[in-house]
Structure 1
Amino acid sequence: MRVTQSMLASNSLKNLSKSYANMGKYQDQLATGKKISRPSDDPVVAIKGMFYRTNLTEVEQYKRNLTEAYTWMENSEAGIEQATQVVQRIRELVVQAKNDTNSPDDLKAIGVEISQLKEDLVGVANTQVAGRYIFNGTQTKNPPIIKDEEGNLDFSKMVTNSYNVEVSKGVQLKVNTNGSNVFGEDLFRNLEQIEASLLDGEGSFENGDGALQELDGHINSILAERSELGARYNRLELVDSRLGDQEVIANRILSDNEDADIEKVITDLTIQESIHRASLAVGSRIIQPTLIDFLR
């Protein structure tokens, strides 16, 4: 095949264009810090990057779920702690009321304080976090205890099912507490009986031992619920630690797959620049002078 001057020139320009493209690729890698700027640069890297980024996105979402779980559990813990203190204070008042030296006015004063403590318990039971009731299972839009205008308490809206949050792939963790074990109807009915007995004006407090026994049972129920919540909180911390490790690993794998080796890129760019200069020098020798160069 006969090789013409135009063929030599065309091949030289084609090779110079490839050299420019290679230098452009290395400059893009140096500017972005990434191996590829479009999927067509390396489909395998692009596909793996999509998979690794999906895993990282899942881990980040689970960590956001953990924040919600921590919020529920910590607020539930605070509510149970306050309820424990209130019921224990009521127990102290009942012990005080059993003293035969109390006057009718003393008993009424104790009854009034127990009445206020009971109201505080209702407020704790209806605790809201971000507009949701945390002691009413999945019925987070409804308060567990409804108080009418006459002061009567309605427990018909209280539910005890679990409010679960997905904290890891396929792992659901209960983040609420059973409201009936802490703020059950039996507790408030017992408090109402104690209150009525102290405020009846007869100047005596009967069945004090029975009231103490019932209060002790409620306190034990509250403490058991708190213990169960603490166990789940410990598990949540373990999941949090594991997700933290997974996030670090996912970021490292994604970086290994997509991030460019800057030292290697700089070296390759320097080599490509040398090759390009050599190509320009060779091209100037291949393209020979024509007749026009001699026409003066």
Structure 2
Amino acid sequence: MRVTQGMLAGNSLRHLSNNYSKMDKYMDQLATNKKITRPSDDPVVAMKGMFYRTNLSEVEQYKRNLSEVYQWMENSESGIEHSTQVLHRVRELVVQAQNGTNSPEDLNSIKVEITQLKEDLANVANTKVAGRYIYNGNDTSKPPVTLGNPIGVSMDTGDFTVEVSKGVQLKANVNPINAFGGIVDGKSLFATLESLETALGSGSLGDSSYLDLLDQHFSNMSAERSDLGARHNRLDLISDRVNSQEIIATRILSDNEDADVERVITNLKTQESVLRASLSASARIIQPTLMDFLR
């Protein structure tokens, strides 16, 4: 086959174009620190990258869910802690009221303080987190306690669950009835306090069984708090695992997409040398034209 000058020139220009394309590829990798800038550069890397990014997005969403559950649990724990302190104070007042030396005025003063403590408990029960009532089960848009005489208590005991890991639903709330003393002798803690107010207003505590009632309410609170603590410990373990998954997912995504800068620089320098050699060879192959002699 006869090789013409035009064929030599065409091949030289084609090789130069390929060299420039490779230079552009390495410069893009160096500028973006990514192996590819479009799916057509490497379909396998692009396909795996979509899968890895989806996995990383899921892990990041689980971390946000974990943060929400932590918020619910910590606020619930704080509310129960406050309620136990209030209940301790009520018990102290009942012990004080049982002293036979109290005058009607003394009993009335105790009644007034218990009324304030009852309203304080109601405010705790109506705690809101991010616009939702955390002590009302799934019915988070309505307050569980309504102040009045008598006080209104309507607590939903449904579980508010959040997905904290793949296929793992964790209860974020507490049983509001148990968190606020449970039901003792058919009465809620709020009803027991109202009964106590009535007895103090009449000047007598009757059979003086209120201490036992308050102790049982306190026991229910402690049991619910223990259950919350157990779930909080499990949440810590899940959080550690999700954090580990995030680290692994990020590393795998980096291995798949990020360019090896040292290798890219080496390839770029090599390609520059190849390009210079190609230009030098092309200059010898492409013969001068008549216009070159006329310059």
Which TM bucket (shorter chain)? over 0.9
* Corresponding residue of 2:196: 194
Q: Could you give the per-residue CA deviations for residues 5-57 of structure 1, whole angstroms, max 9, x where no partner exists? A: 11111111000000000001001111111111111101111111111111111
Check if 1:153 corresponds to 2:155: no
The residue correspondences of 1:5-44 to structure 2 (distance < 5 A) are: 5-44=5-44
* Corresponding residue of 2:178: 181
| Secondary structure of the structure 2 residue equivalent to 1:2 | coil
Q: Is the 8 A contact 1:182 1:218 kept in 2?
A: no
Amino acid at match of 1:139: D
* Corresponding residue of 1:88: 88
| Secondary structure of the structure 1 residue equivalent to 2:164 | strand
Aligned residues: 290
Q: CA deviation at 1:204?
A: 3.0
* Corresponding residue of 1:144: 144
* Corresponding residue of 1:211: 210
The residue correspondences of 1:96-245 to structure 2 (distance < 5 A) are: 96-148=96-148, 151-155=149-153, 157-183=154-180, 184=182, 186-200=188-202, 203-208=203-208, 210-245=209-244
Amino acid at match of 2:38: R
Q: CA deviation at 1:93?
A: 0.8
C-alpha separation between the residues in 1 aligned to 2:160 and 2:17?
63
Q: CA deviation at 1:288?
A: 2.6
C-alpha separation between the residues in 2 aligned to 1:186 and 1:262?
68
Q: Could you give the per-residue CA deviations for residues 179-207 of structure 1, whole angstroms, max 9, x where no partner exists? A: 1112355211111111111012xx43322
C-alpha separation between the residues in 2 aligned to 1:116 and 1:291?
108
* Corresponding residue of 2:51: 51
For structure 2, the 5+ residue unaligned runs are: none
Question: Identity across aligned pairs (percent)?
Answer: 64
* Corresponding residue of 1:269: 268
C-alpha separation between the residues in 1 aligned to 2:291 and 2:88?
110
| Secondary structure of the structure 2 residue equivalent to 1:176 | coil
Q: CA deviation at 1:295?
A: 7.0
C-alpha separation between the residues in 1 aligned to 2:210 and 2:85?
17
C-alpha separation between the residues in 1 aligned to 2:268 and 2:293?
39
- Tell me: CA distance 1:295–1:192, structure 2 relative to 1, closer, same or farther (3 Å): closer
C-alpha separation between the residues in 2 aligned to 1:250 and 1:111?
60
Q: Is the 8 A contact 2:34 2:257 kept in 1?
A: yes
For structure 1, the 5+ residue unaligned runs are: none
- Tell me: CA distance 1:294–1:197, structure 2 relative to 1, closer, same or farther (3 Å): closer
Cα root mean square deviation, aligned? 1.5
C-alpha separation between the residues in 1 aligned to 2:292 and 2:122?
103
C-alpha separation between the residues in 1 aligned to 2:293 and 2:25?
41
| Secondary structure of the structure 2 residue equivalent to 1:162 | coil
* Corresponding residue of 2:78: 78
* Corresponding residue of 1:4: 4
| Secondary structure of the structure 1 residue equivalent to 2:188 | helix
- Tell me: CA distance 1:146–1:5, structure 2 relative to 1, closer, same or farther (3 Å): same
- Tell me: CA distance 1:289–1:87, structure 2 relative to 1, closer, same or farther (3 Å): same
Amino acid at match of 1:186: S
Amino acid at match of 2:48: K
Amino acid at match of 2:147: K
C-alpha separation between the residues in 1 aligned to 2:65 and 2:241?
14
The residue correspondences of 1:249-264 to structure 2 (distance < 5 A) are: 249-264=248-263
Amino acid at match of 2:268: L
TM-score normalized by the length of structure 2: 0.95
C-alpha separation between the residues in 1 aligned to 2:198 and 2:43?
78
- Tell me: CA distance 1:293–1:94, structure 2 relative to 1, closer, same or farther (3 Å): closer
